[in-house]
Amino acid sequence: MSRRIYQALFIIIIIACSLLFFKEVKSSVSSITHIDKLAHFGVFFILTGFLKRAFKAPIWLYIVILAAYGAGVEYVQGMIPHRQASFADFVADVAGILSYLLISAVWHKRHAKAKQSEQA
C-alpha cells in the first residue's frame, strides 16, 4: 500500500478510536480481567504500525506523538462524567507503542540478515 493510503487509514483509525475512548461504556462483567488494558495495548500497538507506515520520522517522534495522544485521551476521559482517567491505561498505551517498535526493529534486523545471507 502507498504511504497516502496509510495516512488516510491512520486518520480514520485515530477518529474511530477517539470516538470509542470517549463513548459511554455499559457496565458488564467480563470474563477477562483488565480487558480494557489489553484493548489499550492493542489499539496503540496497531496505531504505531500505521503511524510508522504513514509518516517517515525518527522513532522518538512516534513515541512522543502517540504517548501524547494517550495522555490526552486519559485527560479528556477524566473530564467526562461517564468515564474516568486511568494511569494504568496510559501505561498500557505506552507498552503497546514500545512493543510494536521493538518487535518491528527485531523483525527488520532479522529480515536484513536473512537477505544479506542470501546475497553472499
Domain assignment present for residue 103? The answer is yes
pLDDT level of residue 27 (50, 70, 90 thresholds): low
Average pLDDT, the chain: 91
Domains held by the chain: number: 1
pLDDT band at 83 (very low <50, low <70, confident <90, very high): confident
Residue 26 covered by a domain:
no
Tell which wins on pLDDT, 47 or 109. Answer: 47
**What is the distance between the alpha carbons of residues 57 and 29, in angstroms, rounded to a whole number?**
41
Q: Could you tell me if residue 51 is inside a domain?
A: yes
Let me know if 9 is exposed, middle or buried by CB neighbors in 10 A (0-12, 13-18, 19+): middle
pTM of the model: 0.86
Average pLDDT over residues 87-100: 97
Residue 29 lies in a domain: no
Amino acid at 7: Q
User: Is residue 7 one of the residues assigned to a domain?
Assistant: yes
Residue 83 domain-assigned (yes or no) = yes
Check residues 72 and 1 and name the one with the higher pLDDT. 72
Q: What range does the domain containing 55 cover?
A: 3-19+36-119
Sequence-distant (6+) residues with CB within 8 A of 46 are 13, 96, 100
Residues constituting the chain: 120
